[in-house]
Structure 1
Amino acid sequence: MTPNVARLLIKYGIDKVIGDDLVQFSELNLRRKDGSKVGHTGIKDVEEVTGFPWWLVHRHHLHNGLVVVARKEKVNLITDSRVAKLESKQDGRVEVVTEKGTRHMFGLLIESDGVQSIVRKTLFPDVKPRPPTTNSAYRAMVPYEEVRKDPLTRELVEDDSGRLKKTMEVWMAPLGYIISYPISNAKDFNMVLSHFHDPPVDKVCEVSIDEVKEQYKEYDPRIKRMVEKICPPISRWPLLLTGPLPSWSNAEKNIVLIGDAAHSM
């Protein structure tokens, strides 16, 4: 959660709901794939310039905070209601049908249902998200206690005095990179592992842990060990581009697409 977003979390009190699961970290380090440092940013400097914190958070904790605050403001939230289809009615309203068969009527439908949007597929069936490159990413988490127990990886999360440190680390290489950072009150070590896969893929798919190990076998021994600690299953997430669309709304202007549903990139 960069400072421009943190400002809004504070404004609406969402930060108070999420609490310690909004992790404050001290520095961002850029490294070659062998681990040697090539760049450093002190997060306090960023926060002093912007006037707001830079937080790290698990998506689950963020969503929960949004839900709690929205309900406090008397917003009627209906969860576990995946949309199956929709239809514009003659009276100008939109009917939405969930996978469970529940029907809802709206005067205006604002859809932010992601890159595989059911609504976009309904409005523009010929538009399909496509991989503009062969770039994809694995996503994984390792418990911090596992990282701290291992002498090789411990220095990634502890200072010289053995105290817990919270940093964002980036290992960069010509054909990929790894970003790591603490989430969930520094209980989990989160990793996004970028790489290239040929041929390109357009769907999330499960992969073997051996494939992931092979991809990063020449990296810094510390992050190699972290990869070895990943527990299956692990999936490959493709980078997909959507559009351009003829419009971000329907002809009646009562259905609007936003976010990845309209312009994933």
Structure 2
Amino acid sequence: MCTIGVVFNGNQINTFKQCDLIPVTTFNEPEVRSGYNGVTSYIAMTRQGSDGIWAGSNSSGVAFVAADSYTTTAANYSTTSAQVEALFAAYEKSISSYSSATEAAASLIEFYKTMGTGTPFPAPDISLISGWKDAKKTQPISIFIEYMPNPYNQESVRVIQRTDGFFASTNNFRLQPDSVNYPANHSTYLRLRRAETILESNPTINGIKTLLSDQYYGPTELSICRETDYIGAEFHTQATSIFSASADGSATCEYQINGNPRTNPLTSFNGS
């Protein structure tokens, strides 16, 4: 489970992710990698056991974050390790190879639908890409993507675009069918409501930092900043990232890894 989102603050775009997992996972320090197709470089946030990224941003101001989606039909979906690695590679391609959010989102959507081979990705997913609509950087934009394998002849990809204000998501679909319901996983609904409440009153990067450290429901799975006494059995926060980009080309990353932002302060990284 994760909490992701974006805040537009003037001509600055702030994209964030709180990464929550059950197994204790070792996260790596941010790494600067060379880009392609007009992207000079990008910040890759990685964890041990996977070659791909869990979050990142590039020198053109395009940022990527994602969250697992939980559905009432979760038992119907399974992925191989190769398919998961292909997904993480598609995540990375969205920032390594595209200088606009529109192109980056189109690339990821194409992967969901075809995986490059004509076969749709076999499991639901939620992702968010923010940046500028085109290379001229005249319009900031965030593109929120919900992907659902298509068993009902419905649209497999549904999108929400925002150009101002803020947007937050946890793990429940807004647009797709079969979203997990409140009794089955009320944490995702409580965290979303709390995130939106905080950003509504403070839609700035400081509001994001307040959100990421929030334990309104205590040091439990129910809060955005999640802790547990049952390590290995319950979700707990293990990494955090905030990517800030301006139209003038400046970009920064603030992050913490292998802990949570209440007890493990954010560190600045200006590698991109």
Q: TM-score range by the shorter chain?
A: under 0.3
Bigger radius of gyration: 1
Structure number with higher helix proportion: 1
TM-score normalised to structure 1 length: 0.23
